[in-house]
């Protein structure tokens, strides 16, 4: 029952919170979909941490998408062996994983250690920072130490299949029984993030100014007077 609860019921509760929360936020509080700037209070750590985190997390999410959504048979059909896939995933993933960790650590340290920044931070801001940092740490620990518990463990033969089954509404919780503990903790911490997503500053991710890519150039002219 505990296994069914964690890997069948909880994912759908998180998904429901994610969808309903976004609908509620858009209908009743859409003007708060932004991230309050604290650049005036401290700039150096914010600039470095934000750049590292945002660049790193884009590639980390992309790597998770490939590993979880694309079946192993598809990459094999393209001529990518399992050994080649894991070398590429671990090598490239580690680089961007470290970038994400350093960026998130700097942002979290800045928020907790700088009195001015901490003063304007809400409880939700602090929870989001700590949860994101914990999720990144658990993800890196899973990559480095996770397979020591079960030698030869391949998440594409268990976690990935279970993940895809969630969207087909027939998840098999038994696939998660023998998954290493670090992987499970990483997934559960990610559930917390997705569950909190609509109710925190994380929603500013949807306000990326993509329109800037296709807008006309703004020409600034010096006033001759």
pLDDT over 90 for what percent of the chain? 56
Number of CB atoms found within 10 A of residue 84's CB: 11
What value does the mean pLDDT take over residues 62-90? 87
37 domain residue, yes or no = no
Average pLDDT over residues 81-97: 86
Is residue 33 a part of any domain in this protein? Answer: no
Sequence ranges of the binding site for heme b: 54, 64, 186, 204
Domain that holds residue 159: 2-15+44-205
Q: pLDDT at position 36, please? A: 63
Domain count, the chain: 1
Which parts are annotated binding residues?
54, 64, 186, 204
Full DSSP string of 120-161: T--HHHHHHHHHHHHHHHHHHHHHHHHHHHSTT--GGGTHHH
Whether 144 is covered by a domain: the verdict is yes
State pTM to two decimals.
0.85
pLDDT tens track for 14-68 = 999 999 999 988 888 766 666 566 667 777 888 999 999 999 999 999 999 999 9
Give the CATH number of the domain where residue 85 resides.
1.20.950.20
Q: Does the residue 222 lie in any domain?
A: no
The answer to whether residue 21 sits within a structural domain is no
Please give the mean pLDDT across all residues of the chain: 87
Residue 214 lies in a domain: no
Asked if residue 221 is part of any domain, the answer here is no
Inside any domain, residue 130: yes
pLDDT digits (tens, 9 = 90+) for 157-186: 999 999 999 999 999 999 999 999 999 999
Residue 65 CB neighbours (<10 A)? 10
């Amino acid at each position: 029952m505990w296994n069914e609860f964690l890997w069948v019921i909880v994912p759908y509760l998180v998904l429901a919170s994610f969808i309903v929360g976004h609908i509620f936020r858009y209908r009743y509080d859409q003007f708060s979909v932004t991230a309050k700037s604290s650049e005036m209070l401290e700039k150096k750590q914010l600039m470095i941490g934000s750049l590292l985190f945002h660049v790193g997390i884009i590639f980390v999410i992309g790597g998770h998408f490939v590993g979880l959504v694309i079946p192993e048979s598809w990459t094999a059909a393209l001529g990518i062996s399992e050994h080649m896939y894991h070398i590429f995933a671990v090598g490239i993933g580690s680089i961007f994983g470290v970038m994400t960790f350093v960026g998130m650590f700097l942002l979290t340290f800045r928020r907790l250690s700088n009195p001015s920044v901490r003063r304007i931070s809400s409880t939700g801001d602090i929870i989001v920072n700590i949860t994101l940092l914990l999720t990144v740490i658990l993800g890196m620990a899973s990559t480095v130490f996770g397979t020591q518990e079960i030698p030869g463990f391949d998440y594409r033969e268990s976690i990935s299949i279970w993940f895809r089954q969630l969207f087909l509404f027939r998840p098999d919780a038994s696939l998660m029984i023998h998954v290493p503990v670090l992987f499970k903790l990483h997934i559960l911490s990610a559930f917390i993030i997705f569950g909190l997503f609509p109710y925190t500053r994380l929603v500013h991710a949807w306000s990326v100014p993509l329109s800037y890519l296709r807008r006309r150039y703004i020409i600034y002219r010096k006033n001759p007077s």
